[in-house]
Structure 1
Amino acid sequence: MTRPETVPAPDRDQTRRLALSTSAGAVQQCRDFSRQALLDWHWLAVDGDGWPDDEQVAVFEDVLLMVSELVTNACLHTPGGPRELRLRWDTVRLLVEVSDGSPVPPQLRPFADPGLPGGHGLRVVDRLARAWGSRPEDGGKSVWLEVSSPLNHRA
């Protein structure tokens, strides 16, 4: 069995964009798109035994969860749902942006009852992302988050 090789990070920014026209299926589509981008960018670089380390796997999965949360919020709380998902990686950090048609910025709700559904998405993003926020964009807004690259966490 051949093991994948460790591949160095790119030496320049890389950006991926996914235009969205409907909320139907948007969360899964954005997760799949993000998963492929992270794999293409070798976010699961392997060690000498051919396996990614636990930290890389955890950050990889956290990114997919946070993408799901931002897209879900756009689906639930904005007319027309999300417009676009953008991923930008500069080898040090990943910037995730979800744009939508509502100018209303998201607000972190007070702590919700953990036994009840809903109201936890931005709290998850707040805990996992290095930073997050929103900014006006084309009559709506872009909600963004930053994640540090897991590839050099041992350095």
Structure 2
Amino acid sequence: MIDTEGDCAAWTFPADPGTVRAARSAVRDRLRDWGLDSVGDLTALLVSELVTNALRYATGPVGVRLVRPSDLDGVLLVEVSDRLPDFPHERVARPDDEGGRGLQLLDSASRRWGARPGDEGKTVWFELAVP
């Protein structure tokens, strides 16, 4: 499901393994349509991490929302929502760990990020500066 309104795009994806690929593809396509290819790969990677976490720990659908940067701020806002109310916790992954680096990657690659409670769960958001 997609909802677009000019400077906004939002999708709701089912809780199944194909969701990560579908979310990456939808994000890349929308950013390409907006002429923001320069942040397409990084945005898709970070969305993949957050959607994967949502699928691993929450139940139900996963929402993804993009807000196009205005001429004034030059910042792309990305949000990933799920039904789990618990906020994500950054952990330090050991060199041989298979996972646990998603939030570290988000922290190092984004301008800033955070989480906020929602009506039915939470939203993890991040901002990327758009050149």
Paired with 2:9 and 2:99, the residues of 1 have a C-alpha distance of 29
2:55 to 58, 61, 75: 75
The one-character-per-residue Cα deviations of 1:83-105 (angstroms, maximum 9, x if unpaired) are 21101112311111111001100
Paired with 1:71 and 1:32, the residues of 2 have a C-alpha distance of 13
The one-character-per-residue Cα deviations of 1:32-83 (angstroms, maximum 9, x if unpaired) are 0000011001113xxxxxxxxxxx3xx3321111010010110111122x42
Residues 36-55 of structure 1 aligned to structure 2 (within 5 Å): 36-44=29-37
Shift of 1:108: 0.9
* Residue of structure 2 equivalent to 1:21: 14
* Residue of structure 1 equivalent to 2:102: 121
Q: Work out which of the two has the higher radius of gyration on C-alpha atoms and give 1 or 2.
A: 1
Q: Paired residues, what number?
A: 123
Paired with 2:40 and 2:15, the residues of 1 have a C-alpha distance of 26
Shift of 1:148: 0.7
2:45 is equivalent to residue 65 of structure 1: yes
Paired with 1:26 and 1:69, the residues of 2 have a C-alpha distance of 12
What TM-score comes out, normalization by structure 1 length? 0.74
- Matched letter for residue 89 of structure 1: R
- Bigger drift between 85-94 and 117-126 goes to 85-94
Shift of 1:23: 2.7
In angstroms, what is the RMSD of aligned CA positions?
1.4
* Residue of structure 1 equivalent to 2:130: 149
* Residue of structure 2 equivalent to 1:139: 120
SS of residue in 1 equivalent to 2:108 = helix
What TM-score comes out, normalization by structure 2 length? 0.87
Greater per-residue strand proportion = 2
- Matched letter for residue 36 of structure 2: W
**Matched-pair identity in %:** 41
SS of residue in 1 equivalent to 2:103 = helix
* Residue of structure 2 equivalent to 1:31: 24
- What stretches of structure 2 of length at least 5 have no aligned partner? 1-5
* Residue of structure 2 equivalent to 1:93: 75
SS of residue in 2 equivalent to 1:113 = coil
